[in-house]
Amino acid sequence: MVALTIRIDTLDALNVRLALHRELGSRIGIYILSVDHAHAQSVLQLQCERGQLDALMHAVMSGLPRAEFGAVLPAHAMAAR
């Protein structure tokens, strides 16, 4: 499992969540959504199998075209943070 951090310049976490579910559907897996009010961003941490990463990133780009991708880390590294 790997974890991918995604940042979007919006405080509208509900619409971020709806777009994520619309694009990923049953492939959604585990994710954490937080809102960074200091930087006016929503931050997603998504987990998936490494082989699904390309499809996950494509789905995110389709549903959240303003998203900025962060580093891909082992999922256990994100859980430790």
- Domain total of the chain: 1
pLDDT score, position 31 = 86
| Strongest mean pLDDT among 14-18, 21-25, 36-40 | 36-40
Residues 6+ apart with CB under 8 A from 29: 46, 47, 48
The interaxial angle of helices 53-63 and 13-24, nearest 10 deg, is 130
- Give the domain extent around 28: 2-80
The CATH number of whichever domain residue 19 belongs to comes to: 3.30.70.260
Check residue 78 and give its pLDDT. 62
Could you read off the pLDDT of 38-54 as tens digits, one per residue? 999 999 999 988 998 99
Residue 81 has pLDDT above 80, yes or no: no
Quick check: 80 pLDDT over 60? no
